[in-house]
Structure formats: structure tokens, C-alpha cells
Amino acid sequence: MNRRMMKSKIHRARVTDAHLDYVGSISLDPELMGLADILVGEQVHVVDIDNGARFETYAIEGRPGDVCLNGAAARLVHPGDKVIIITYGEYNEHEVQSYEPRVVHVDEANIPVSEDVARKLAGGPMAVEQARPVRGSSVQ
């Protein structure tokens, strides 16, 4: 039996733009794509934390800092919204035993940060005091 599991996610990214007059997709920062193991053309699930919208599209490479929704999905988000971008993979029973998803946390400018910094930025009950940003060390 295979199980569909979260392969990776970019957590609490800030939408930088929305272009309605475009064929479709989500333009992502190439560094974030690499850290989250997202390929050009790969299907992604986008969850808007601010308005609850959930939809699927595919990833294309954007510019540094980009999290831009294109085409019809541009109607579901607004610049400044926080989103979670999720990918999934199929794993067999043997693979699922050692499987670990990649989680990329980002700050307000979509720069990768450690999980501790992300918790502090979110201001939730799990916030950590005196955490410091660490570029490129957010994959867990």
C-alpha cells in the first residue's frame, strides 16, 4: 500500500503579488524552491492563512523573495496575505518508516529562518526568546 504524505512545505510565506492576466501558477523564489524540494511544474497546494482559501496550482521559478499567484488563483489571495505552500509525495510502507518532510520557515520578507525564529515571528504560545535568523538553515 502507498500513502500520500506531505513531502515539503514553505510555511507562512508572504504573498508579494497577484497577476490575474497570466496563464496560471505560483512564482516562487528559486532558493525557497530548492530548500523545499519543489521543481518547476510541480503541483503545489496553497493555503491562505488570512482568508482560508485553499487551492492547487503548479510552481514556476520567480525572482528572489517572490511568492506571486498568477491567473485565476490571483483572485483568491491578496499581496501581504500569509500562505502555506505544500507538496505531497507517494510513499510505500517501507519508505514511510524513514520519511521526513522538509519544512522551510520564512520571515516577513520570505527569507528562510530557523524554526525558533519562525515561532517568535508568529507570536504564538510556542514563541522562543532571543532567537536569531539563520539564512538557509530552515530545512528540517
Catalytically active residues are 25, 58
Q: Going by C-beta distance under 8 Å and a sequence separation of 6 or more, which residues neighbour residue 17?
A: 66, 68, 69, 79
Closest CA to 35 of 7, 63, 56, 57: 7
Task: Report whether 74 contacts 19 (CB < 8 A).
Answer: yes
